[in-house]
């Protein structure tokens, strides 16, 4: 947990940052992947696991599988960041590539399942994964039990769903907010429409937030999240740079989206105590967004 007077002043709230970028795989995804893999029966485990992921969940699943001594196949989009591909391979995962669309991910994943008999561990639309992700909020509220609100990024919704379930369960009066790039705002639009609006053409540097919601995550967000707001790309870059400068934390663009929403004052939290989940820190240092 970290805090910064400068960042408090910038948003008008007292912020408490949960630094999931310091996880073993540099992302909160370690939590859900471990919970899912360790929940498998011996029969399921011996056939291995498979998932589709832009990187962080894939690396986490490869790591969790290695801890249990089982194989892991990770379906990745052809435009996945090199740092995330390296992480998947470094943890012993086998990468399979596909076109960068949701349909291509799912089709390739199904083909690997049929070929290997591996168990699908969905990146977010899986109750075991959602439960694991919720432990970040559990620890956050153990350290800061008097929070007025908590905000987390939302892509497929696993982290935000787990956060909402835990936070509302422990402290019913707490407000739970999601933060999303304006260029990939399917969750924002889905909650307003009352139905899942799939992500079709995401345009954001926050590559971890380009997924569409699943039926499980949408159900949780619809009933337990107070609002989802969006941030501009300019604000995301500014927030990422501020987190590097003020917290001395290496975070990726997706991690910066909650702070970006607060910087743009999309949510009125003046004077309140706010928990902010920094989701990950897998960054391509050769392509930082503020480099010309």
Q: Which are the catalytic amino acids? A: 29, 279
Cα distance between residue 156 and residue 213, in whole Å: 4
Identify the bridge partners of residue 22 per DSSP, sorted by sequence position. none
53, 72 in Cβ contact below 8 A? no
Residue 88 to residues 66, 81, 233, Cα–Cα distance (Å): 11, 11, 27
Q: Return the DSSP state at 288.
A: -
Pick the closest to residue 258 from 272, 244, 271, 243 (CA basis): 243
- Cβ neighbors of 114 (< 8 A, separation 6 or more) are none
Residue 26 CB burial class (10 angstroms; 0-12, 13-18, ≥19): buried
């Amino acid at each position: 947990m970290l805090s910064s007077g400068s960042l408090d002043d910038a948003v008008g709230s007292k912020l408490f940052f949960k630094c999931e970028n310091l996880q073993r795989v540099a992302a909160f995804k370690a939590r859900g992947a471990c919970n899912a893999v360790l929940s498998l029966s011996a029969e399921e485990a011996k056939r291995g696991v498979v998932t589709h992921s832009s990187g962080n969940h894939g690396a986490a699943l490869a790591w969790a599988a290695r801890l249990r001594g089982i194989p892991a196949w990770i379906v990745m989009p052809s435009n996945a960041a090199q740092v995330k591909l390296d992480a998947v391979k470094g943890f012993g995962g086998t990468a399979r590539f596909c076109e960068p669309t949701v349909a291509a991910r799912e089709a390739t994943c199904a083909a690997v399942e049929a070929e290997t008999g591996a168990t699908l561990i969905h990146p977010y639309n899986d109750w075991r994964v959602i439960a694991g992700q919720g432990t970040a909020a559990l620890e956050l509220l153990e350290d800061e039990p008097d929070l007025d609100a908590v905000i987390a990024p939302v892509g497929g919704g696993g982290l935000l769903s787990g956060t909402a379930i835990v936070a509302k369960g422990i402290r019913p009066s707490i407000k739970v907010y999601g933060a999303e790039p304006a260029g990939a705002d399917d969750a924002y639009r889905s909650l307003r429409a009352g139905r899942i609006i799939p992500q079709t053409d995401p345009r954001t540097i926050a590559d971890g937030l380009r997924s569409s919601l699943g039926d499980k995550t949408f159900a949780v967000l619809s009933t337990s999240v107070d609002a989802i707001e969006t941030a501009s790309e300019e604000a995301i870059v500014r927030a990422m740079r501020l987190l590097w400068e003020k917290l001395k934390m290496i975070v990726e663009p997706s991690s910066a989206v909650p702070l970006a929403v607060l910087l743009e004052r999309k949510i009125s939290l003046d004077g309140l105590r706010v928990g902010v989940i920094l989701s990950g820190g897998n960054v391509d240092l050769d392509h930082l967004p503020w480099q010309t």
